[in-house]
Amino acid sequence: MHIKELDLTDLDALQKVSVETFYDTFAAQNTKQNMEDYLESSYKLEKLTEELENENSFFYFVLNDNDEIMGYLKLNVNDVQSEDGFENALEIERIYICKAFQKQGLGKILYDIAIAKATQLGKQRIWLGVWEFNQNAKAFYQHLGFKFVGSHTFNMGDDPQTDLIMVKDI
């Protein structure tokens, strides 16, 4: 496997994997309408283009030897972070693993990239938001040493949901 930092030439592939992984992970717990609304607004090409062009956001694919996308990572720093109050920190906004490649250690590989990027940028903390009912993700991040420090609202269509904020000093 190998890692690829994304640029605009990866836009269509990023949109496809974003929609597929988010849908696979959260569709069963949300209404069809809320999923459609969220996917349409969050992963439209214009929005992803802005994110890819932003110098404070970083995207990475993990690919297998056949260049098939296995998952991806999105990181944010500075004013692009989705929550205020995290000075000198890096946000892991997304670690999404394609369904066929889950439980193969890819989350840890992407996490290690996040740690390396945070270190390269001189950040002292790394943080993320995780849905309160995503037990696997919560356990994964706790295993890596993240601690719960608060929560914020994540709007899934017309359904306000709770993301738990987790932080780790590096």
Which of the residues are catalytic?
141
Locate all alpha helices (DSSP H) within the chain, ordered by sequence: 11-26, 32-42, 45-53, 106-120, 135-143
Q: Which residues of 102-120 are buried (b: 16+ CB within 10 A; e: fewer)?
A: beeebbebbbebbbebbee
Residue with tokens 């994110």: 51
69: three-class secondary structure by DSSP: strand
d(CA 100, CA 125) in angstroms, rounded, equals 31
